[in-house]
Amino acid sequence: MAFDPTRDYPLGTRRPDLVTTPTGTPLDRVTLAAARDGTVAHDELRATPETLRRQAEVARAAGRRQLADNLERAAELTGVPEDELLAVYTALRPARSTAAELAAWAARLDRRAAPLTAAFVREAAAAYRERGLLRA
């Protein structure tokens, strides 16, 4: 059955067949007992890019464009290591980075197949430039 973002929300209730862990464990096997006995490891308790993209479709169908954009960027970022994610987050704080540093982060994100997030960093850099929020 095809996914319908206007009918299949919430995914976990209406289409649990579409929700899995990063290694493919079905949603119905992700339980507290499975976590306790080690059947499901803590790093399996993450959203997959596919689930995040479906959630973005739901948000877009409901007219929530900004939420959809955020979910699409989140889907891209599932492949970025946590330490790098935290570094990007820190770099995006006002007055933490120069224009060149933000450009370098955007290029790095492009290389990691995260073009939407790279565009977001470039947009933030432009806004920071206009508002005087870049580090000198």
Q: Which residue has the higher pLDDT, 79 or 131?
A: 131
Residue 43 has pLDDT above 90, yes or no: no
Which of 8, 38, 14 shows the shortest CA–CA distance to 27? Answer: 14
Residue 1 has pLDDT above 90, yes or no: no
Structure tokens at 48: 């997959």
Which of 83, 62, 68 shows the shortest CA–CA distance to 116? Answer: 68
* Average pLDDT of every residue of the chain: 95
Cα separation, 6 vs 9, whole angstroms = 7
pLDDT at site 42: 84
Q: Which CATH superfamily is domain 80-136 in?
A: Propanediol/glycerol dehydratase, small subunit (1.10.1510.20)
pLDDT at site 44: 87
pLDDT in tens, 46-62: 999 999 999 999 999 99
Question: In the chain, where are the structural domains located?
Answer: 1-78, 80-136
pLDDT at site 96: 97
Cα separation, 48 vs 6, whole angstroms = 20
SS3 string, 6-30, reads CCCCCHHHHCHHHCECCCCCEHHHC
Mean pLDDT for the stretch of residues 79-83: 93
Cα separation, 33 vs 25, whole angstroms = 14
Cα separation, 27 vs 40, whole angstroms = 11
pLDDT in tens, 86-116: 999 999 999 999 999 999 999 999 999 999 9
Residue 80 has pLDDT above 90, yes or no: yes
Which of 78, 65, 69 shows the shortest CA–CA distance to 112? Answer: 78
